Chain A
Amino acid sequence: MSEAMYEVSLVVNGVPRSATVPARRLLSDFLRHDLELTGTHVGCEHGVCGACTVLVDGRPIRSCLQFAVTVDGAEVTTVEGCTRADGELGHVQQAFRDCHGLQCGFCTPGFVTTITAYLEENPAPTEDEAREAIVGNLCRCTGYQNIVASVLRAAELRAEEVNR
């Protein structure tokens, strides 16, 4: 009783990638185990914790709630793609380092992608808005205070980059 297999092709972090998988392969598993991009983490498998958040055509989605076949042809950005072109930390990543916005680092990739997309919509959030921006992601280590600070710091760094 072999399963039907489908070729799924995505552009991941600017690179065309494809793999042949069954219809039920979750996008999170496809990225992590078929493409071996393990930066995207899975914390709950039911769309609540946000650790698996990736950007599909620029919009944040829970990759544990999507089948890979349903996003065939899409452009996907994972945490690995949130670095600068030279491989150094991108503005959101750098902000987390500056503000001690991570401890164990397991939930962090989902925050980085979420905040990256958020700052595209709202480049200069207030502190309250920064707190709201991350309300779909769970972190068990930090108590969020330094993540809120990271959102504000990332907005600053992003503005510096944009204005440069």
Chain B
Amino acid sequence: MTTRSFGEPIARLEDPRLLKGEGRFLDDIGHRALAAAFVRSPHAHARIVDIDVTDAVGVDGLVAVYTHDDLDGRAGEALPVLIPHETLTHGRTGFALAKDEVNHVGEPIVMVVATDRYLAEDACARIRVEYDFLPPVVGIEAARDAGLLVHDDVPGNVSAHMVQSRGDVEAALAAAPNVLDLDLDIERSASTPLEGKGVHARWDADDASLRVYTSTQASTSVRAALAARLELPLDRVEVIAPDVGGGFGVKIVHPWPEEVLVPWAAIRLGREVKWTEDRREHFVGAAHERGQLQHVRVGFDDEGRLLGLDVTVWHDNGAYTPYGIIVPIITTTQLLGPYKPDAYRAEFFSLYTNTVPVTPYRGAGRPQGCFAMERTMDAIAAHLGLDRTVVRERNFIRPDEMPYDQGLIFQDGRPLVYDSGDYPATLEKLKKLVGWEEFAAFRDEARAAGRRVGIGIACYVEGTGVGPYEGGWVKVETDGSVVAATGLTTQGQGHKTAFAQVVASELGVPVDRVAVTTGDTRRFGYAVGTFASRAAVMSGNALAAAARKVRDKALRIAGEALEADPRDLEIVDGVVRVIGSPGGAPGASIPLATVAVLANPLRYAFDREAERATQFGGPVDFSKPPVAEGESPGLEDTGFYSPPRSTFANGMHAAIVETDPETAEITILRYCVVHDCGTLINPRIVEGQIHGGVAQGVGGALYERMVYDGAGQLLNASFMDFLMPYSTEVPVIETDHLETPSPLNPLGIKGAGEAGVIPGSAVLASAISDAEGFAITRMPISPSDLFSLRLARESR
């Protein structure tokens, strides 16, 4: 048997150093670097009249103060719209340092560099900015009403207006025996990783090269962006994502203002410069997501089958659109979930407000789409008096209908075609796991005891593993160890373990012999990034392709050395041997380490191993060149994976909640997950991803919101006031898996990173509605919100 860790729940290889405090996160690097700090706008909407830095000049340790006027060349240009789209007719971005106008609280205006952060902040406190105030646009209704504008040259505050449809929705609705209208509302939350952003830059004047460490989800693209903005040749710029303390989407955006400014200042000053985002800065200076108003009009037959579905979304994109309109595109395409309405039409308006920009947060628009669809399913069930699972089941795409074309264009610009999944089987598993049929008895029992309980369900389909591509490089060293690299980054997903499992299994070596590097442009320069549940699908398959090539090469070289047909050889525990022969039989095996030596013909013997590869080191066929034509030296190779389109994972959640009849406190009694992400590389890591996602889903459903006042001030910009769940708020999560491998990639993988969060608001709204007997249409919901809803109903 070949060593095969693929599919096993092994402990993570990255853990020991992180547990011993030996991780190297951004702020752990560069103790002698100068520190940067920023003067940020305290106003949501204003013109900058004057910046007076006079008082800062005397501050001890001050090195430099920069405003937009100082930014020469392309560094002073507006930041890019990363993902342009033809319907994004009015994309707007800010500048690295504000030029003339600020559009949200937290926008950077002045950069200060000093010998330490304390002193840099001292200097910031002494800089005076004079403003002409402009009225702010806060909230989706205000943006939609367009009584005031965020950007003078953007009519109606609309950055993008997009319509996608399949079939004739108006005719379907007109002919439907039942039609319902729903108005829905989801508030903002945010990624809020425990580590904020951060950048460290070092300019090597002798080498004319720049090394940048940044807490990012996309180091290769940061590199390209910096080379362009700072007008450096690409090969003079290296970007490394060190250990990253969580991302959840917010770190996919780049270049952030600070990512441009810190390297720019490092070059200008010829000194190392570092900036570490503090918590308040992260709340007001990074990005948020989720905020949408939705209107659903649905037509259905008396069995609950979807005939026509017409959805309008008003999406709050904040002050700028640096990441384009990916979030509302995903909302309106992924909304369909596992269902197949006869006709569908989705329209969205992406709207500017004077608040922190909106870019993807784990789920990236899917939680809102799932909320709309699943609230609709519950509404249909209530209208017809049907069980909620029955209505869903009747609308499922069947396994024999795969691949299923939804007739829309997905976020990657490619057709929305589901590749695989068995939704009825997933639902059956979930009903069993949560005890759907037995719940009525539990409810009766609880009711008799004066308790109020409810059960909810929500289903989703998630497009994962979007292209365009990822790559991988694998090399067997001459000591038999294996090094591998992929360009995308890691923020806690355990890539060093999962990718080592892929490589080890393809190559036939023990997993602890494989060391994987991610997110370091020095090691692998071609990559897209870590987002959209794509890393395992993309880099997993790329590294598998690279490892297979290395394996073939090893077998070829070993075949020559052993005078055997490569097809008769296998690699087991790092040794190439004749298939089935016991390890160590003379002449029938050769260690991979030796193959690696032989793979690199040498002139110079620097050690005993190398001696074997020199020109006089052993028998040589003098009729051939030392490196055969078409070959390259070294036991290494590179592979890429580029998918035809996304692969679609799916899952279903059920929750049982209790609502206090007096206080309206909401308690989750049980939370069950059935999830299908195709073939699992490491079930333990996948389960961890689900747990973390569910925790964020619960947070978004019951606790987290961004509380803006009418002036555009974020009132809860701290962990004291922004209620991220602690251990006591997250329920025990019961999970079950279904594995329908993706036919689109060789490993059969679908992504798992975002799954857990997607149905959070939908399933808890469903359960609370069930407990209360009326439909919840606005999330998150606090006990006070629920209490108010009860009062409003009583007074009706």
- Contact partner of B692 (CB less than 8 A), chosen from A93, A105, A131, A140, is A140
Would B685 and A44 count as touching, CB distance under 8 A?
no
A104 touches B246 (CB 8 A): yes
Cβ–Cβ contact A48 & B718, under 8 A: yes
Query: Quick one: which of A22, A48, A148 has the most chain B CB within 10 A?
Result: A48
B720 to chain A, nearest CB (A): 5
Stretch at the interface among B318-326, B491-499, B590-598, B642-650: B491-499
When the two chains form the complex, which single residue of A41, A93, A103 contacts B492, counting CB atoms closer than 8 Å? Answer: A103
Max chain A CB contacts within 10 Å: which of B21, B23, B192, B493?
A: B21
For A96, list chain B residues within 8 Å (CB): 15, 19
- Of A75-83, A117-125, A156-164, which binds chain B? A75-83
Minimum Cβ distance to chain A for residue B599 (Å): 35
- Give the dominant DSSP class at B's interface: loop
The answer to whether B24 touches A141 (Cβ under 8 A) is no
Supposing A43-B194, A143-B733 touch, asked if A80 and B692 sit within 8 A by C-beta, the answer is no
CA of A148 to CA of B731, assembled, Å: 12
A83 touches B727 (CB 8 A): no
The residue of chain B having its C-beta at the shortest distance from the C-beta of A145 within the complex is B691
Which residues on the B side are within 8 Å of A48 (C-beta)? Answer: 718-720
CB-defined interface of A93-130 with B at 8 Å, one 1/0 digit per residue?
10011101011111111001000000000000000000
User: Could you say which residues of chain A place their CB within 8 Å of the CB of B19?
Assistant: 79, 89, 93, 96-97, 102, 105, 108, 112
- Asked if A65 is an interface residue, CB under 8 A from chain B, the answer is no
User: When A24-B118, A97-B15, A140-B192 are in contact, do A105 and B60 touch as well, CB less than 8 Å?
Assistant: no
Cross-chain contact A134 with B194 (CB below 8 angstroms): no
Assembly CA distance A43 to B695 (angstroms): 18
* In contact, A39 and B59 (Cβ under 8 angstroms): no
Contacts A105-B492, A106-B246 known; A143 to B695 CB distance under 8 Å?
yes
Contact A102 B726 (CB under 8 A): no
B59:A38 contact, CB within 8 angstroms: no
Answer whether A49 and B31 are a contact pair too, CB < 8 Å, given A3-B60, A143-B730: no
Any A CB within 8 A of the CB of B25: yes
Interface class of chain A by DSSP: loop
- B28 A38 Cβ-Cβ under 8 A: yes
Can you name the residue of chain B whose Cβ is closest to the Cβ of A81? B21
Q: Choose among A39, A49, A93, A104 the residue that contacts B244 (Cβ–Cβ < 8 A).
A: A104
Q: Which residues of B contact A145 (CB under 8 A)?
A: 691, 730, 732-733
Docked complex Cα distance between A88 and B696 (Å): 33
Note all chain A residues with C-beta closer than 8 A to B23: 39, 105-106
Answer yes or no: A146 CB below 8 A from chain B CBs: yes
Instruction: Let me know if B246 and A80 touch, CB within 8 A.
Output: no
Question: Taking A98-B11, A140-B696 as contacts, is the C-beta distance between A46 and B24 under 8 angstroms?
Answer: no
Bound together, the chains give a CA A105 to CA B15 distance in angstroms of: 8
Question: Is A7's CB within 8 Å of the partner chain B?
Answer: no
Give the residues in chain A near B730, CB-CB below 8 Å: 143-145
Q: Is B694 an interface residue (CB 8 A)?
A: yes
Q: Is there an interface contact between A45 and B278, defined as CB atoms closer than 8 Å?
A: yes
What is the bound-complex CA distance between A148 and B729, given in angstroms?
A: 13
**Contact residue among B22, B31, B193, B688 (Cβ-Cβ distance under 8 Å from A140):** B193
User: What sequence of 0s and 1s flags, for each residue 96-112 of chain B, a beta carbon within 8 Å of any chain A beta carbon?
Assistant: 00000000000000000
Question: A residues 26-41 with Cβ under 8 Å of B?
Answer: 32-33, 36-41
**Is the pair B724, A140 in contact by a Cβ cutoff of 8 Å?**
yes
A sample of 14 inter-chain contacts (CB < 8 A) reads A24-B118, A39-B23, A41-B194, A46-B720, A48-B718, A48-B720, A49-B719, A79-B19, A79-B20, A103-B492, A105-B243, A135-B726, A138-B724, A142-B688
- Residues of A whose CB lies within 8 Å of any CB of B are 1-3, 22, 24-25, 32-33, 36-46, 48-49, 51, 78-80, 83, 89, 93, 96-98, 100, 102-109, 112, 131-132, 134-148
Give the interface of B toward A (CB within 8 A).
11-12, 14-16, 18-25, 27-28, 31, 58-60, 116, 118, 192-195, 243-246, 248, 278-279, 491-494, 684-685, 687-688, 691-696, 718-720, 724, 726-728, 730, 732-733, 756
